[in-house]
Amino acid sequence: MKTFNDIGLNKEILKALGEMGFEKPTPIQAKAIPHLMSSNQDIIASAQTGTGKTAAFGLPSIHMTKINEKVPQTLVMCPTRELCIQIARDLTNFSTYLPGLKIVAVYGGASVDTQVRALRQGAQIIIGTPGRTKDLIKRKKLILSDIKRVILDEADEMLTMGFKEDLEAILAETPYEKQTLLFSATMSKRIISITKKYMNDPIEISAARVNLGAENVQHLYYMVHAKDRYEVLKRIADSTPNIYGITFCRTRKETKEIANKLMQDGYNADAIHGDLSQAQRDEVMERFRKRKLHMLVATDVAARGLDVNDLTHVINYNLPDDEEVYVHRSGRTGRAGKSGISMAIIHTREIGRIRAIERISKIKFSCELVPTGKDICQKQLYSLMDKIKKVEVDEYQIEPFLPTIYEKLESLDREELIKHFVSAEFNRFLDYYKNSRNINVSESPRGKNSKPPRERVSQKERRKSTFASLFINVGKNNNVSPSRLIGIINEGLNSSDAVIGKIEVMKKASFFEIEEKKKAQLIKALNGTVVGGMKLSVEVANEKQARDEPTKSGSHSKPKSRGSRGGNRDGGQRGGNNKNSGKWRGKNSSAGKGRKKSQ
């Protein structure tokens, strides 16, 4: 089979595929599509992310749909809202030229009434998460008596998330005579038990991931003590100015903690996890897709269904419990023939798990040293030089200012000017990393782990500049997070250069610190503007507190000091979540400013 034209799909589907740039089927598509179009036999398919499995079951489902029958004919079950929405979007694109075909996604976190109205209009293909699908069946709003095929996508993850009973209840509502397709990245005992109970003489097909291979993805690990993992993550970011990747954590709690630390330290990062509303998840993903975020922190469950291209890095902050999941994670980079890096931050007792992944997945890891302070400063400096060389100069705009600039700089020769320029941009990196310690851990010839000697750490306190503490009348109840507040500040100043200190988001209001010289400008810019339907009120925090303080002491206590623990040498962080944010670290970065030295 060479092209989609050889499969026998109808011309409307082929036209849509052609416009989408799809020409040749992937291995899983080449195996699954012909079988689905010619046989009713059940299928067990082993397929990872990036293999094209959505088209593998979606294209034949669309082809075989009887458009004149306005009843559900295909049911696709998947574990998360993101994957549900993504599958529905893909199938809608495939069926662009089939106007009578209706596809409806049903999932939690969205209005059930809206989904009920969509079902009433007569949908032939239903994409759903187990919880919402079961709920609609109970309400008798979703009738599955005419279902011809059921597709269980990411079946392993649905079982991991505890949806076994829901799936059984849903399958019980479908006809006995139907075709069942099961797609799973792993084939655990629980998966096998489902196949025995709900499938009839299934055939098994499998396909390697399209992007697996040394020519696409480089696999490496850093070995450090567990307490140094976060420091490694920061150094990876600082040494890779153009990083655009996903960091995987094991738990929802750790995901939020790591993302919050990164944001407090001035990185363009945010998290996606189960505690976010659908609107919040959509906002985070929209910013990530537009590269306003350069690092997304997520759990495996939350990342299911995220379809983001051109990722440069996948970082395993924790190794997954299942070795096969590592391959699933790493498949998110190195797509479409582009190169990518999948890295793991491991501690001294995890080398055995690295070897297990190598055996199971037939890949080879290389052990790398955590970048040193000198390495990081060098890469950041060279990156800035490249950026400056590529800047387009608008002579008409800058011409009026040049005489004064020349006059102010005439006392400096060429070499002195370069030194002053470099120092202005890089003192913060040089200051933070000049006494950085070596955090690598190596394996000794006897197999024991040894730690390289620690470099001497200077005890001199870093200089901190003056900050103003401000109050703003929006908080968690207005869907404001630390990263969203940084965005509001940047939008108000029309710049991401402001140094921002500690941020404290409460239910109905927030406190934050900003460099004193930006205080008046920000208050003037934000007061009276409307965000999320709320008219903003911004004022100096201690002035508001003085007005709110009751005459009797003890009723109100003073807010705790909000001095920065991260950010920059001025005790703050650069705002960086807007269109002007540039790189994860660069001019707007906060490397080394105000951080406590590693002891």
Sequential DSSP letters for 308-367? -----EEEESS--SSHHHHHHHHTTSS-TT--EEEEEEE-TT-HHHHHHHHHHHT--EEE
What average pLDDT does this structure show over 38-47? 87
Lowest-confidence region among 251-255, 348-352, 554-558: 554-558
The radius of gyration of the chain's CA atoms, rounded to the nearest angstrom, is 28
Q: How far is CA 464 from CA 245, 532, 564, 566, 571, in A?
A: 32, 34, 10, 12, 6
Last residue of a domain, one of 349, 372, 395: 372
Q: Which domain holds residue 403?
A: 374-435
**DSSP-based three-state secondary structure for 17:** helix
Per the prediction, the chain carries an average pLDDT of: 80
Greater confidence (384 vs 253) lies with 253
| Inside any domain, residue 279 | yes
Cβ atoms of residues 547 and 531 within 8 Å: no
φ, ψ of residue 431 to 5 degrees: the values are: -65, -45
Report pLDDT for 573: 47
Tell me the per-residue pLDDT of 500-534, one tens digit each, with 9 for 90 and over. Answer: 888 888 989 999 988 888 899 999 989 988 876 78
Query: Which is higher by pLDDT, 300 or 316?
Result: 316
Residue type present at position 58: G
Q: Three-state DSSP class for 99?
A: coil
- Check whether residue 183 and residue 331 sit in a common domain: no
User: Is the pLDDT score of 32 beyond 80?
Assistant: yes
pLDDT of residue 210: 43
From 173, 206, 239, give the residue that closes a domain. 206
pLDDT at 33: 92
Cα 409 off chain centre by:
44
> What does the pLDDT read at residue 82?
80
Q: Identify the domain boundary among 341, 372, 403.
A: 372
**Is the pLDDT assigned to residue 286 strictly greater than 80?**
yes
Confidence of residue 142 (pLDDT cuts 50, 70, 90): very high
What are the pLDDT digits (tens) for 59-108?
999 999 999 999 999 999 998 888 898 899 999 999 999 999 999 999 98
Residue found under tokens 């976190």: 109
Instruction: Please check whether residue 454 lies inside any domain of the structure.
Output: no
- 447 lies in some domain: no
pLDDT of 242: 87
Q: Are 576 and 588 in contact (CB under 8 A)?
A: yes
pLDDT at 307: 67
Considering the domain architecture, whether residues 81 and 162 belong to the same structural domain is answered as: yes
| One-character DSSP codes across 200-269 | SS-EEEE---TT-STTTEEEEEEE--GGGHHHHHHHHHHT-TT--EEEE-SSHHHHHHHHHHHHHTT-SE
Report CA torsion sign: 162, 85, 34, 144: positive
Q: Are residues 188 and 241 in the same domain?
A: no
- pLDDT at residue 588, rounded to an integer: 36
* The token pair that represents 527 in the structure block: 């007061």
For residue 592, the model assigns a pLDDT of: 37
Is a pLDDT exceeding 80 seen at residue 353? yes
Structure confidence by residue, pLDDT tens digits, 181-231: 998 876 666 777 777 777 888 898 876 554 444 458 899 999 999 889 999
In this structure, is residue 27 part of a structural domain? yes
DSSP 412-426: S-HHHHHHHHHHHHH
Please report whether residue 323 resides in a domain. yes
| Token duo for residue 231 | 């420091």
At 295, which amino acid appears? M
Distance from C-alpha of 57 to C-alpha of 545, rounded to nearest angstrom: 61
319 and 226 co-located in one domain? yes
Considering the domain architecture, whether residues 31 and 153 belong to the same structural domain is answered as yes
> Stretch 21-29: mean pLDDT, rounded?
86
483 or 382, higher pLDDT: 382
Q: Tens of pLDDT along 241-274?
A: 889 999 999 888 899 999 999 998 889 999 988 7
Do 393 and 484 reside in the same domain of the chain? no
Write the CB contacts of 235 (distance below 8 Å, at least 6 apart in sequence): 370, 371, 376
Q: Assign residue 537 a region: left if phi > 0, alpha if psi is -120 to 50, beta otherwise? A: beta
Q: Same domain for 200 and 223? A: no
* 13 in Cβ contact with 98 (< 8 Å): yes
Within a domain: residue 35? yes
Q: Mean pLDDT, to the nearest integer, of 452-457?
A: 36
Total domain count for the chain? Answer: 4
Question: Residue 435: which residues within 8 A CB-CB, separation 6 or more?
Answer: 373, 455, 456, 457, 458, 597
Do 483 and 503 belong together in one domain?
yes
117 is a domain residue: yes
Sheet containing 365-367: which strands, arranged edge to edge? 269-272, 295-298, 245-248, 313-316, 340-346, 217-223, 365-367
**Same structural domain for residues 201 and 233?**
no
Q: Do 381 and 348 have their domain in common? A: no
Is 592 a member of any domain? Answer: no
pLDDT at 117: 94
Find the mean pLDDT for residues 122-138: 95
CATH number at residue 486: 3.30.70.330
CB 301 within 8 A of CB 79: yes
* Judgement on whether residues 189 and 85 belong to the same structural domain of the protein: yes
Assess whether 241 and 296 both reside in one domain: yes
Report the CATH number that the domain containing residue 334 is assigned in CATH: 3.40.50.300
570 has a pLDDT exceeding 60: no
